[in-house]
Each structure stands twice: as C-alpha cells, then as structure tokens.
C-alpha cells in the first residue's frame, strides 16, 4: 500500500470527526438589569446531537450583606468528580449567601429540587450521584477563612508613575505583586432531603434523609514576577488540598489502617474519603500569553490500592488584556474528558487582602 493510500483513510477519519454534530453547540445569552440591584440572566443552548435545547434562567438580587439567587434549568448539566456528565431533566434552587465579612466568616442556606431520572451522557455508569436523585433538599453551610502572607512585594507608584499610560501597567492587576501566601478554610454543612425515596432503587447506595458534616481546605500560593514585562515576568503556582467530607475521611483512614493489619473483603470506595490536591501552574510565554496546567490528584485510588492517582489534567493558553484590568481569553483542553473550550474570564484570582 502506497503512502497516499494510507493517508486517505486517516484524512477521512479526521473529516468525519470534524463533521461530528456532537462537537458543536449554539448558545444565546441575555442579561437584563431589572433594577440597580436585581438582574435576570437567561441562556439557551442547542447541541448538535441533542433534539431539544438546554435552557437556564437565573435571578440575582443583591442586598447590603447578602446575595439572593433563584435558578431554574431544564435540563440541568452536572459534572461529577470522575469526569462524567449527568443530565437532570429539571432543576430549581433558591440560595441566600452572605458576603465574606472582615473576620472571614461566611454562611449560606437554601433549597434545591431535582425532578426526573438523571442520565449519564458520556458514560454507561449507573451509579447516579446521590445529590442528583429526585427530591427536595434544604441545605445550610458556614465557613471560616483566614489567610496570611509569608512575604509580598507591594507595588507602590510615584506621582509620575500614576500618570503612566495603561500599556505600561501589569497585564493583569490581580497578578501584579510577587508573593507567597497560605490560607485555610474550615466549615460545616447540614442537609435534609424530602421525597425521592422511591427512586433510590436506581442505585444500591442509600441516601441519608439528614446529614451533617465538616470540610476544610489548605492553600498555598507562590508567584514570581509582576506580569508587566514581555518575558520571564510571571511564574505562579497555586496548590489547594481539600477534604470534602471529614466523616468520610475519618472512616476511610480507619479502613486503610484495618486493611494493613487485617485481611478484609473488598469494600466500596467512597470518593469523598480521599483528599484532593489541586495544582495550577502558570508560566509566561511572551507578553500577555501564559501557558498553564491545571491538575487534580486524588490521594486515594478507586482500585483500593490507597495510592495517589491523577483524576484530571487540563492544558491551556491564556491571553490577557491590559485594558480590561483583569480579563483574559483562555483556551483549554482536557485529554481525559476529550473536551476543549475557549472562555472569556474576568477577575479569576482573589484580590490580595490585608493580613489579620
């Protein structure tokens, strides 16, 4: 077989893949300001392989110390920790969240309702996440956050520099100060489920009608450079260790110790029992272009070997716009999910705050 004959099937496969309807979607987004403090957002998406559209409406009302959000979607799309997309026929929620106080305390409460049978879109999995099972859920949560700079190079401008043109400033005002910082979050949640018990048969695991739990995160950030010059002026690492469920973590740790000293039959692995390590690395390529790698590592394994494994890795390139202060176009690709996207992001990182 000649080289041309070998290249022809490959070209046909590429063309067939490009023409695959599942790769394309058309969306319409609208934002209506009803009052100075109230906004209505509505968007409709139509995917090539789907017969019907996906719609979502969000009403946001801002109070002096709280945000009220009412949201409805039909159908709603969820992504679980394994990278599986789930479609819920209908979902509605009411959420009241406090703004972060100077002390670091924050709380929120609300209602969430799912209707219809969840369906896995890119997998044959029948293990439906418990939070997607039909029913009404009343939720409440609180968290306490504290941060401290290990060191920070504050940017102070002279009167002459205050008048300098925008094109001489940092490409992103949130990335203008080299620093190293640590922060921690600890909080608790409680949830009560009503209804939906008749649908539990779709999976073997039962959902508790009432649950209380704790969670926590430990974060570290290191940044070199002010992202102002065209070369070698930004290297940044953000690392966050999450314990999503303290009760599952304690139970999982006990099971590991038991497996070491005793022989047990295979247990069902709770995905919440394993701490998650999220690491984001960013490196300036040239000017406003930054290469980034976002990875998520689970410190446990679904194969019960109790060894860390990589859950997902996302590669991306971003282009920052000086005139937007903290706005960028980000193109990213996930090899595991075989998913790519181009996004416009604003103020992606937390603004530095004073130590307490």
Predicted TM-score of the model (pTM) = 0.80
CA atoms lying within 13 Å on the CB side of residue 351: 6
Question: Cα separations (Å) of 145 from 67, 99, 191, 237?
Answer: 19, 12, 22, 20
Q: What is the C-alpha to C-alpha distance for residues 3 and 223, in angstroms, rounded to an integer?
A: 50
- CB-based contact 27:13 (threshold 8 Å): no
Per-residue pLDDT of the chain (356 residues; tens, 9 = 90+): 555 555 566 666 667 767 777 677 788 989 999 999 999 999 998 877 667 889 999 999 999 999 999 999 999 988 887 778 889 999 999 999 999 888 899 999 999 999 998 888 766 666 788 888 899 999 999 999 999 999 999 877 655 555 566 667 899 999 999 999 999 999 999 999 998 666 555 455 677 889 999 999 999 999 999 999 999 999 999 999 999 999 989 988 887 777 777 765 566 667 788 899 999 999 999 999 999 999 999 887 665 566 788 989 999 999 999 988 899 999 999 998 888 889 999 988 765 444 43
pLDDT at 263: 62
Q: What is the C-alpha to C-alpha distance for residues 337 and 320, in angstroms, rounded to an integer?
A: 26
Q: What is the C-alpha to C-alpha distance for residues 91 and 301, in angstroms, rounded to an integer?
A: 31
Closest CA to 149 of 315, 295, 342, 353: 353
Q: What is the C-alpha to C-alpha distance for residues 282 and 227, in angstroms, rounded to an integer?
A: 11
- Domain extents in the chain: 63-346
Q: What is the C-alpha to C-alpha distance for residues 270 and 298, in angstroms, rounded to an integer?
A: 12
Q: What is the C-alpha to C-alpha distance for residues 217 and 240, in angstroms, rounded to an integer?
A: 7
DSSP-derived pairing of the beta strands 76-79 and 38-47: unpaired
Q: What is the C-alpha to C-alpha distance for residues 116 and 90, in angstroms, rounded to an integer?
A: 7
Q: What is the C-alpha to C-alpha distance for residues 276 and 298, in angstroms, rounded to an integer?
A: 5
pLDDT at 200: 53
pLDDT at 352: 45
User: Which position has the token pair 């070209």?
Assistant: 11
Closest CA to 186 of 161, 209, 214, 162: 214
CA 342 to chain centre: 16
Residue 300: how many other CB atoms lie within 10 Å: 23
Q: CB neighbours of 216 closer than 8 A, spacing ≥ 6?
A: 184, 185, 186, 187, 242, 243, 246
């Amino acid at each position: 077989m000649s080289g041309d004959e070998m290249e022809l099937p490959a070209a046909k496969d590429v063309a067939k893949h490009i023409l695959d309807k599942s790769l394309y979607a058309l969306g319409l987004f609208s934002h209506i300001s009803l009052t100075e403090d109230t906004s209505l957002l509505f968007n409709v998406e139509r995917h090539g392989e789907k017969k019907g559209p996906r719609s979502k409406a969000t009403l946001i009302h801002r109070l002096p110390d709280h945000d009220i959000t009412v949201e409805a979607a039909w159908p709603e799309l969820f992504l679980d920790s394994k990278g599986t997309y789930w479609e819920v026929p209908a979902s509605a929620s009411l959420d009241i969240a406090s703004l972060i106080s100077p002390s670091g305390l924050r709380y929120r409460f609300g209602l969430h309702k799912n209707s219809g049978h969840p369906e896995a879109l890119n997998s044959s999995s029948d293990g439906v996440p418990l939070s997607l099972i039909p029913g009404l859920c009343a939720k409440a949560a609180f968290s306490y956050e504290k941060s401290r700079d290990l060191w920070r190079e504050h940017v102070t401008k002279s009167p002459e520099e205050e008048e300098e043109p925008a094109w001489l400033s940092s490409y992103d005002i949130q990335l203008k100060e080299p620093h190293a910082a640590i922060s921690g979050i600890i909080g608790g949640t409680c949830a009560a489920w009503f209804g939906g018990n008749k649908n539990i048969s779709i999976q073997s695991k039962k959902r508790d009608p009432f649950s209380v739990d704790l969670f926590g995160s430990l974060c570290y950030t290191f940044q070199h450079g002010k992202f102002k010059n065209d070369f070698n002026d930004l290297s940044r690492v953000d690392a966050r260790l999450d314990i999503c469920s303290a009760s599952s973590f304690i139970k999982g740790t006990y099971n590991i110790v038991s497996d070491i000293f005793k022989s047990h039959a295979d247990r069902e692995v709770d995905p919440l029992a394993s701490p998650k390590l999220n690491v984001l690395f960013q490196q300036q390529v040239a000017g406003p272009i930054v290469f980034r790698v976002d990875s998520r590592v689970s410190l446990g394994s679904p194969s019960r070997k109790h060894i860390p494994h990589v859950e997902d890795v996302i590669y991306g390139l971003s282009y920052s716009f000086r005139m937007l202060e903290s706005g960028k176009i980000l193109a990213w690709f996930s090899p595991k999910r075989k998913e790519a996207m181009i996004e416009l992001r604003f103020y992606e990182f937390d603004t530095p705050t004073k130590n307490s």
